[in-house]
Structure formats: structure tokens, C-alpha cells
């Protein structure tokens, strides 16, 4: 039996493969060790996991593969391992960074550049077996260019500075009823400000026909390319793949920017979880 998870900052996708090879799917909130303690993760798993799955795994020597955002150090990996082990004490647990999940899902056993454009952003050069080089992934304060959080932050700044076109400004205000104080409270005082900022990517997507928003997203992607992809040696000759809701929802703009930068996009997928199942089952 095998349990595989791909966790972003907002949502975690899970797949359970039982002893007969049957696959079941479910989800939890994103379990990021940057924002969650082990106990909170354990509580979320206990709350959201199907009872049948928990019962099957709990007393068996199953394999658990968890790929998650911010799982980039021994300390953070330990937070996730501890949480999962409390629920599944007999399982063999392997925790890796979500950028490796993207690389395996996008490239399989071939070399390529793998990118994440979801709530956050990241990229790596993968040689077909392991990550050789990593650029980006500096989180929403120091980086995350091209991500939902970046797009949302640029949008909110434009809103607060009265830079949005009048009709767009009025539509947003009517729909969200946000004030400067509410925005400041969400960004500086509440949990998960990156999720709060990324939530506005939905509004941007819904109104992407507006030239102002089109250019806003395009500029965010240009910065991502310039600070990550274009810094890899021979990037023009290496296939580049993207994972994440932002990459999927804004793929037309993404292809346009890639063409401008002479980058070849090989694949765009919203979530790596199905490809990860294929990868691990084939081992």
C-alpha cells in the first residue's frame, strides 16, 4: 500500500493506492511547515482523511511519500514527518520538497527545467534523477515571482494606490468590500498572508481581458523568467515544464512570455499528483 501527497501552501492533494492497486483521491489544507506545527498537521490529517484509508494504513507497513512546499531543511522535514508518524506509526515516511514532485511529474527520467507557479513559485534544473540546481523559492516576501501571491500583491498595491481602471476598481470594491485597514490586518496580523494575497489571482483571472490586468500578469511572469529560468545555462535549449493553478489558468500569457524569451514549454499541468502516482508505481 502507498500514500502519496503533493502539498502546496493552500491545498494538499492525496492519493492512496491499496493492496489491490485501486487508487482513491482526497485533499486537505496545504500542510506547510513554514506556517504549521506538527500537531496542527496531525489534527488536519485526522479530520480530513477518509476513515477507511486511515484504518487500512494505521496498522500496516505502508509507504508514505509526502512532497511539500517549504520542506527544504531537516528541521522542516522533521515537522512533517512527526505529524504523519503520529497518525501512521508503522509506515515508512519519505518527505521531499514540492519542487522534486514537479520535476518527477514533468520530466520523469529525462532532464529539464521544472517550475512551480501556484500560490508560491519555484524552479529547478533536473538531470533525470535528481535536482542539480535550484533558483527561486524565496517565499512571498523575498520572492515567489510569477506566483498567485505575487500577482495578488501587485493587484492589491494597484488597488490601494488607485491605479486600477475606474470600472475595474468599482467592480472589485463591490465584490470584495475591502478597506485599507482590512487588507493591512490580513497581511500583517493574520495567519497565511500569502494565501490571502494569492486569493486575488481568481479575480484577476476572471477579468484578464482587461489590458491593465493582462499586463500585470505578463510583468509578473517576465520577472519570474528573468530571475529564474533565464539564469540556467543553455535555458533556450532545455525543455521547461510548469506545475500549478497559476500556470494553468494564465497559460496563454505564459506561452507568450516564453516565446519572447525564446523558451520552449514542454508541458503545463495543474497538479503533479497523477504523474507522481505513475512515477512511484513504476519503480
State how far the Cα of 215 lies from the Cα of 199, in Å rounded to an integer.
19
pLDDT tens readout for residues 41-53? 999 999 998 888 8
266: Cα separation from own chain's centroid: 19
- In a domain? residue 34: yes
With respect to residue 216, please indicate whether it lies within any of the assigned structural domains. no
In the block, which residue shows the cell 491545498?
11
Within-domain flag for 180: no
Would you say residue 95 lies in a domain? Answer: yes
Residue 19 lies in a domain: yes
Per residue in 43-94, pLDDT (tens digit) is 999 999 888 888 888 777 889 999 998 888 899 999 999 999 998 888 999 9
Asked whether residue 24 is assigned to any structural domain, the reply reads yes
Quick check: is 41 in a domain?
Answer: yes
Does residue 128 form part of some domain? no
**Average pLDDT for the chain:** 92
Contact of 92 with 63, CB cutoff 8 Å: yes
Say how many domains are in the chain.
Answer: 1
**CATH code (residue 30):** 3.30.420.40
Q: Which residue range forms the structural domain that includes residue 46?
A: 2-101+273-282
Residue 219 neighbours by CB under 8 Å, 6+ apart: 154
Query: What is the value of pTM for the model shown?
Result: 0.82
Place of cell 485597514: 181
Amino acid at each position: 500500500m502507498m500514500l502519496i501527497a503533493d502539498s502546496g501552501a493552500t491545498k494538499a492533494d492525496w492519493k492512496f493506492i491499496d493492496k489491490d492497486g485501486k487508487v482513491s483521491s482526497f485533499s486537505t489544507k496545504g500542510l506547510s511547515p513554514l506556517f504549521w506545527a506538527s500537531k496542527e498537521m496531525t489534527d488536519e490529517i485526522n479530520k480530513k482523511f477518509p476513515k477507511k484509508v486511515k484504518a487500512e494504513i494505521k496498522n500496516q507497513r505502508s509507504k508514505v511519500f509526502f512532497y511539500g512546499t517549504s520542506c527544504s531543511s531537516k528541521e522542516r522535514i522533521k515537522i512533517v514527518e512527526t505529524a504523519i508518524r503520529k497518525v501512521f506509526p508503522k509506515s515508512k515516511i519519505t518527505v521531499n520538497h514540492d519542487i522534486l514532485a514537479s520535476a518527477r511529474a514533468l520530466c520523469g527520467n529525462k532532464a529539464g527545467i521544472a517550475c512551480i507557479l501556484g500560490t508560491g513559485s519555484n524552479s529547478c534544473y533536473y538531470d533525470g534523477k535528481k535536482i542539480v540546481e535550484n533558483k527561486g523559492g524565496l517565499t512571498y516576501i523575498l520572492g515567489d515571482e510569477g506566483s498567485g501571491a505575487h500577482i495578488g500583491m501587485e493587484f492589491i498595491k494597484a488597488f490601494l494606490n488607485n491605479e486600477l481602471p475606474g470600472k475595474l476598481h468599482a467592480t472589485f470594491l463591490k465584490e470584495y468590500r475591502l478597506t485599507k485597514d482590512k487588507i493591512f490586518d490580513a497581511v500583517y496580523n493574520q495567519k497565511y498572508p500569502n494565501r490571502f494575497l494569492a486569493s486575488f489571482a481568481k479575480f484577476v483571472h476572471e477579468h484578464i481581458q482587461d489590458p491593465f490586468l493582462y499586463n500585470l500578469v505578463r510583468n509578473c511572469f517576465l520577472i519570474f523568467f528573468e530571475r529564474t529560468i533565464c539564469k540556467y545555462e543553455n535555458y533556450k535549449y532545455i525543455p521547461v515544464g510548469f506545475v500549478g493553478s497559476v500556470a494553468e489558468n494564465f497559460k496563454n500569457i505564459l506561452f507568450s512570455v516564453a516565446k519572447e524569451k525564446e523558451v520552449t514549454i514542454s508541458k503545463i499541468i495543474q497538479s503533479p499528483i497523477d504523474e507522481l502516482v505513475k512515477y512511484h508505481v513504476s519503480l
